[in-house]
A = this chain, B = another copy of it.
Amino acid sequence: MTELYGGVETGGTWCVCALGYGPDQIVAEQQFPTSAPAPTLARIAQFFEQYPGAAAIGIGSFGPVDLDLASPTWGHVTTTPKPGWQHVAVAGVIRDRLRVPVVFETDVSAAAVGEHRWGAGQGVTALCYLTVGTGIGGGLLFEGRPWHGLVHPEVGHLRVPHDRLRDPFEGSCSVHGDCWEGLASGHAIAERWRLAPEGLPSDHPAWELEAEYLALGILSIVMIASPQRVILGGGVMEQAPLLAMIRSRLRGLVAGYLETPLLGEGIDSYLVSPALGDRAGVLGAIALAREAVVFSPRGGAIT
């Protein structure tokens, strides 16, 4: 067995911990609900005490998070709407308890890294990974590295056209109301139709509206970041006809403006499902830990 690395995905709903080296070399893996911060972080630490040996641990966390290595609040979750999780130190607590180097990223950037190394984003220079679940999140990679700017992408909180005659729903985002996430997340679907997404039949009008909103948000990503591929994961995407409906609508919205078959007849290979499914985040976190130790990219990823 090669050297071992830890991966943690702290999602809005579930936490996943794993110890291993890659998708086919996992020694231990555990999933549990994301509860309050203290018991959640304790449970993560217990996992790595029970399965020791990680040379470094990568953490992909729901956000917004502080990724600035020079900041006193590096490794914190910051202004999240998730109750109890505002201003919670995640990375430092794990590092100090386990005394192991920690690499900290957003959950969606970690998933993007996982798909880039082993999944549906292999060889793609400019890659976007989106997840549509309880919320909407997205990560961008350029040459395999997560994109950081002022903070990091928070795509769920952009605005898309909202036709209130067609859809009088006010939106479910506690901060912005009818932002993209407020209109198109799983939470928004459940509030609007008073039925969980998995309970809506595939011919329900909910799906046409959902495809419209998702295509509109993806259009903004295409026009701004111009990714070469968009991977679209998350629980809401498990509805069988949804991906095809979004592809068709996105193609209609672009309307031939950009001269590339990938936004026309080739859209099926542009807007794709994750290859690693639910495991993209935790595997990407392992990749981040592993590469930080091996390559120490940009000289500062390990603290």
Residues of A within 8 A of B (CB): 64, 66, 78-79, 125-126, 138, 140, 142, 147-162, 175-176, 216, 219-228, 253, 255-260, 262-263, 270
**Cβ-defined partner of A226 (8 Å) among B151, B223, B228:** B151
| A223 B155 Cβ-Cβ under 8 A | yes
Query: Is the beta-carbon distance between A149 and B161 smaller than 8 angstroms?
Result: no
Q: Is the CB of A161 within 8 A of B159?
A: yes
A-B contact pairs, 9 of them (CB 8 A): A64-B258, A79-B256, A79-B257, A150-B260, A155-B224, A156-B223, A158-B219, A159-B253, A176-B255
- Please list the 4 inter-chain residue pairs (A to B) with the smallest Cβ-Cβ separation, ordered nearest first: A149-B226, A126-B149, A78-B259, A158-B223
| Whole-angstrom distance between the Cβ of A182 and the nearest chain B Cβ | 12
Task: State in angstroms the CA–CA spacing of A242 and B260 once bound together.
Answer: 36
* Contact A224 to B224, CB < 8 A, known contacts A64-B258, A158-B219, A259-B64: yes
Measured in the bound complex, the distance between the Cα atoms of B108 and A226 in whole Å is 15
Cα–Cα, bound, A228→B255 (Å): 31
Interface of A is mostly: loop
Bound-state Cα–Cα, A32 to B279, Å:
57
List of B residues within 8 angstroms of A138 by Cβ: 224
Given contacts A161-B159, A161-B160, contact A224 B153 (CB under 8 A): yes
Write out the residue numbers on chain B whose beta carbons fall within 8 Å of the beta carbon of A153.
223-226
Closest B residue to A80 by beta carbon equals B257
Check if A154 sits within 8 Å of B258, measured CB to CB. Answer: yes
A257 touching B223 by the CB < 8 A rule?
A: no
Q: In the complex, which of the residues A125, A158, A176 has the most CB atoms of chain B within 10 Å of its own CB atom?
A: A158
